[in-house]
């Protein structure tokens, strides 16, 4: 009888206890939102709530830390990556990235997060190409936390988001986990890991992507093909050729040709020559790129003719790049280097011309022409683009040109030149 009475009493009191718990949690959440508005000084007050027994409170605590910002938030956000709730993990991940890439939380996964039962999902933007500057120092414990999350997050969403973060942060120490994730059989995680590997530029990972170049998910297949090319994986060449024998569609064919052009295997020279006049403009562009990287002097007349006859901008940019590698480094507006520089002014083509100029800046003769073009540049877009191209050249001879540009009367140009100088000085030989 006493046991029965006790159980009845508990059942009667349970709604009241739940109501009281909800009131307390709402008060905690209200307080956390107030702390967030106070900024960095309130972080010590926010941090204890990461251990709260109520998941809604912990979620709000992470949001408050991200909003408060500053370097002081990094340690608690790193700790929050180990939470057992997917939303907390996702928000903590985006908060860490936001410190290095301000504004990221407004476009990262956490900005569109929604819950279905206990699962946190969000709207993924496809193929995020954002990344921090290559010389940005990273805290090892952050990379370790994100690596652990990519390997063992509580949901595939949080794992894939951590893989994306490792790429944005260019975390080479996370490469082993990204390679491991390629075998996960989850398309989103594999895709994000491939894109992240592209950003690390760690060539040692190249041989590990070849098996995905025939994946049934086209997004994964295209990302794997692209990654093999960016990482210059010669081991992937036989597989790329097999894909090219029977490509699923034009996108796959184009991606495969571009990857082969980036790898630059001399055995593919006959293929590139045969494609200079292909009906697909992207195939023509890939053929020119490939011939440029092979740098066979005998191919220059064929590329010169293609450049003269070409009407489409994409292959013309590739042909200009190839001609510069083949010895035509004319920086005038009618020459290849000048043509690439001029296209920095075109919003539609800046993203194509800039990588070409960046690659050209790694070689002495084209770099000298780029420096001449820098001295002749008259627009903001040309000046900032050429500064960005020279930032990664690693050569002392680019310092003077960038130092002169850092005194430009246009503040935006001066800032970009100073950024380029900082990056260059960190790698100058």
Close Cβ partners of 221 (under 8 Å, ≥ 6 residues apart): 212, 213, 214, 215, 248, 252
Alpha carbon distance 146, 194 (integer Å): 16
For the CA atoms of 320, 264, 271, 306, what is the dihedral angle to 10 degrees? 10
Residue-level pLDDT at 374: 97
Question: Which tokens sit at 194?
Answer: 């491939």
Residue-level pLDDT at 24: 77
In the three-class reduction of DSSP (H, G, I as helix; E, B as strand; rest coil), residue 119 is classed as strand
DSSP one-letter code for 68: H
Q: Tell me which residue of 217, 109, 232 sits closest to 160, measured CA to CA.
A: 109
Residue-level pLDDT at 181: 98
Do 119 and 179 meet the contact criterion of CB atoms below 8 Å apart?
Answer: no
Residue-level pLDDT at 98: 96
Alpha carbon distance 50, 287 (integer Å): 55
pLDDT tens by residue, the chain, 429 residues: 556 655 555 455 545 544 455 777 889 898 899 999 999 999 999 999 999 999 999 999 999 999 998 899 999 999 999 999 999 999 999 999 999 999 999 999 988 886 555 556 677 777 568 999 988 999 999 999 999 999 999 999 999 999 999 999 999 999 999 999 999 999 999 999 999 999 999 999 999 999 999 999 999 999 999 999 999 999 999 999 999 999 999 999 999 999 999 999 999 999 999 999 999 999 999 999 999 999 999 999 999 999 999 999 999 999 999 999 999 999 998 999 999 999 999 999 999 999 999 999 999 999 999 999 999 999 999 999 999 999 999 999 999 999 999 999 999 999 999 999 999 998 886
For the chain, give percent helix, strand, coil, nearest 5.
75, 0, 25
Residue-level pLDDT at 113: 81
For the CA atoms of 194, 204, 177, 87, what is the dihedral angle to 10 degrees? -40
Residue-level pLDDT at 124: 76
- Record the pTM: 0.90
């Amino acid at each position: 009888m006493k046991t029965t009475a006790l159980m009845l009493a508990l059942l009667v009191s349970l709604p009241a206890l739940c109501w009281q718990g909800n009131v307390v949690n709402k008060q905690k959440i209200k307080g956390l939102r107030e702390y967030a508005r106070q900024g960095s000084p309130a972080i010590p007050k926010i941090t204890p709530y990461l251990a709260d027994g109520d998941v809604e409170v912990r979620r709000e605590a992470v949001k408050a830390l991200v909003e408060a910002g500053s370097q002081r938030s990094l340690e608690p956000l790193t700790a929050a990556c180990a939470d057992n709730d997917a939303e907390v993990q996702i928000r903590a991940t985006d908060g860490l990235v936001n410190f290095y890439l301000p504004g990221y939380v407004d476009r990262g996964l956490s900005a569109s997060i929604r819950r279905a039962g206990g699962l946190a999902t969000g709207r993924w933007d496809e193929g995020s190409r954002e990344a921090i500057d290559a010389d940005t120092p990273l805290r090892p414990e952050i990379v370790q936390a994100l690596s652990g999350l990519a390997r063992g997050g509580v949901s595939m969403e949080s794992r894939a988001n951590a893989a994306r973060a490792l790429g944005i942060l260019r975390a080479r120490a996370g490469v082993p986990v990204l390679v491991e994730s390629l075998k996960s059989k989850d398309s989103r995680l594999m895709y994000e890991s491939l894109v992240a590997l592209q950003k690390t530029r760690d060539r040692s990972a190249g041989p590990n992507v070849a098996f995905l170049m025939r994946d049934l998910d086209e997004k994964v297949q295209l990302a794997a093909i692209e990654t093999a090319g960016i990482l210059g994986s010669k081991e992937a060449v036989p597989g790329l050729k097999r894909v090219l024998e029977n490509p699923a569609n034009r996108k796959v064919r184009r991606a495969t040709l571009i990857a082969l052009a980036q790898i630059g295997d001399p055995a593919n020279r006959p293929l590139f020559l045969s494609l200079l006049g292909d009906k697909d403009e992207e195939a023509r562009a890939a053929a020119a790129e490939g011939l440029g990287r092979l740098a066979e002097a005998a191919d220059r007349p064929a590329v010169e003719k293609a450049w003269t006859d070409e009407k489409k901008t994409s292959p013309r940019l590739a042909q200009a790049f190839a001609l510069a590698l083949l010895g035509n480094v004319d920086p005038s507006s009618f020459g290849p280097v000048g043509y690439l520089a001029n296209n920095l002014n075109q919003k539609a083509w800046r993203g194509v011309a800039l990588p070409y100029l960046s690659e050209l800046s790694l070689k002495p003769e084209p770099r000298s022409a780029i420096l001449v073009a820098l001295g002749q540049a008259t627009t903001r877009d040309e000046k900032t683009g050429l500064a960005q191209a020279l930032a990664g050249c690693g050569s002392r001879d680019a310092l003077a040109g960038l130092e002169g540009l850092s005194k430009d009367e246009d503040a935006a140009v001066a800032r970009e030149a100073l950024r380029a100088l900082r990056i260059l000085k960190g790698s100058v030989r």
